[in-house]
Amino acid sequence: NGAGLPLEDGTGWLPTHKEPQYKLMLLGERMCVEYREMDESLANLSEDEYYSEEERNAKAEKEKKQVPPPQPPPPEEDIDSDPEEPSGKWHLLQNKHSFLSGVEGAAFQSRLPHDRMTSQEAACFPDIISGPAQTQKVFLYIRNRTLQLWLDNPKVQLTFETTLQQLESPYNSDAVLVHRVHSYLERHGLINFGIYKRVKPLPSKKTGKVIIIGAGVSGLGAARQLQSFGMDVTVLESRDRVGGRVATFRKGNYVADLGAMVVTGLGGNPMAVVSKQVNMELAKIKQKCPLYEANGQAVPKEKDEMVEQEFNRLLEATSYLSHQLDFNYLNNKPVSLGQALEVVIQLQEKHVKDEQIEHWKKIVKTQEDLKELLNKMVSLKEKIKELHQQYKEASEVKPPRDITSEFLVKSKLRDLTALCKEYDELAEAQVKLEEKLQELEANPPSMILNCQTFIYKCDAVLCTLPLGVLKQQPAAVQFVPPLPEWKTSAIQRMGFGNLNKVVLCFDRVFWDPSVNLFGHVGSTTASRGELFLFWNLYKAPILLALVAGEAAGIMENISDDVIVGRCLAILKGIFGSGAVPQPKETVVTRWRADPWARGSYSYVAAGSSGNDYDLMAQPVTPGPSIPGAPQPVPRLFFAGEHTIRNYPATVHGALLSGLREAGRIADQFLGAMYTLPRQATPGIPTQQPASM
């Protein structure tokens, strides 16, 4: 049910939990503007994905020397346009959808430039890139048309024969080139991926053995591809379910996503293809997001705009510090964005005035505390005098003493009786838990193996473990031989965040059903990540509250009852105590404590960069067993959202990384079917598989 990671600004698409005929809904007014920029950005992403670092730097230097053309005036807003039905922007959408429906749009949806070959294509088709321009145009049309045929009907396998039959003349005259292009697109997960009906049976003879660690989106995507290529695949999963950080809570009519849940944009997103394959309707998330302060009052629009403007100004100042003044390290340690913002704020006069105000507040508070302390001392002195007099009188009484001593004994006996009763209740609960444990051990779910060691032999291993598991110290996973230093350094430099959810299932809707999300502003900086956003995404009366940052780590050590109580207190402050009922069901996630996740998703930490994502994607080659022997081929491969530079922290990024590695593994062990015919027949390398 999850097809993306949650966006804090609410933009994105939500998979609904029903299966009507798939339909592509129109994006809102904002997306009309974004679509105009999407061609250029996706083309740049395509170049970044396939071009080397040197090529990207050379291109950037060339663009700096070019004089930018004058910017056209912004289009006038159509006052009559409805955000949900942007009739005033219909001509823009119509032109865009007509573009997306053609061969050029097919390349766009596949994250490829429609009018030029990528560096990867140039490497795989050296005869085409070195040939005349007309040959390249023929290649591009065959490639784009094949992509269009697949995207028009992704529920059925697109075979070479069908492609050749559908191609127009004269592009169908070179069957060898068509076969090479089709094989290339299939091998690299641009066609025939996801969940579709096969026209041709799977290869009966398996060639090459691959072990995939992790049955998340990247692992499952790679497994399906490798299986379709004719390789023997085994997927190892530590949980009793598949999906990884895509997990769904289901109970009765209540359904909620505990992990990924939002499709972050449809342009070039393979999850849009998958949703079409399984007839899953996508519902647009409305961008309206009311904000409420800690006292439950709505944040005034003027205040919201002022804070946003000030925040953007601070970001610009921080960018100037980083790029112009090269302020990226403090005390020989990388500076995070939050630290840089603090530096900028401290440079402002406003900060000094705030400190003065806080200083005077402390003085006033100290004076009040002193006054209260003096009053307590006076009162305490009177009690001491009174107690002294009582003690003097009591000490003069001869035995037997008064009833006070007997009362103390009785009160202790009462407390002991209460503790004994509580102990008996715990003993009864212990018996019930032991019975339940015996029942669970006697009836485990299928295919779960406990406390046993297995050795799997294979030609290659694809590791899709989350970055949080790889970062864990002491290490939760041991690699033999150890990972090289460049890989472990990248693992440690990268960040792995934590985003938790609180699922609240009610018997009725008491919030505004027309909004998909509303925000809660914490009273302090430290609490800004505590229940800062509430999602309303389901037809059932369910709210999802998000907890991020430091608050997410703190709340993982707090009981569910306390967290749910805090949620209800916030909701009652917003909607009123009488309007908020007790929830029927609640779920609190703790992704950092999950031993097979250790967090939610990756981010570029201070001291890290996009290059670390590229390093994470690189396979590892074992050293030669005999000095002077030929260099072995890579045996350990990596996939996951933390291994894809252009689409990190998303489900579609995880899927694309799995497709990428499946193609890489198949090319290495099966050979590239799209290479020139005169090359050797593809097959499994003659080297003996390394033991894994």
Annotated binding site for FAD: 239, 245, 261-262, 641, 650-651
Q: Which amino acid is at 675?
A: T
Query: Per-residue DSSP letters for 538-599?
Result: SSSSEEEEEEEHHHHHHHTTS-HHHHHHHHHHHHHHHH-GGG-PPPSEEEE--TTT-TTTSS
Please state, as a whole number, how many other Cβ atoms lie within 10 Å of the Cβ of residue 176.
Answer: 9
**How far is the CA of 379 from the CAs of 39, 280, 375, in angstroms?**
77, 72, 6
Q: How far apart are CA 667 and CA 567, in angstroms?
A: 52
592 in Cβ contact with 552 (< 8 Å): yes
Helix axes 651-670, 270-277, angle to 10 degrees: 90
Q: What is the 3-state secondary structure (H, E, C) of 320-333?
A: HHHHCCCCCEECCE
Q: How far apart are the first and last CA of the chain?
A: 34
Please state, as a whole number, how many other Cβ atoms lie within 10 Å of the Cβ of residue 289.
Answer: 16
- As to burial, measured by CB atoms within 10 angstroms (0-12 exposed, 13-18 middle, 19+ buried), residue 389 is exposed
DSSP assignment, residue 463? Answer: E
Q: What is the 3-state secondary structure (H, E, C) of 79-140?
A: CCCCCCCCHHHHHHHHHHHHHHCCHHHHHHHCCCCCCCCCHHHHHHCHHHHCCCHHHHHHHH
Helix (H) or strand (E) holding 430: helix 404-442
Helix (H) or strand (E) holding 158: none
Please state, as a whole number, how many other Cβ atoms lie within 10 Å of the Cβ of residue 101.
Answer: 14
Q: How far apart are CA 385 and CA 144, in angstroms?
A: 96
Sequence ranges of the binding site: 239, 245, 261-262, 641, 650-651
DSSP assignment, residue 643? Answer: G
b/e for 67-83, b at 16 or more Cβ within 10 A?
eeeeeeeeeeeeeebee
What is the SS3 assignment for 260? coil
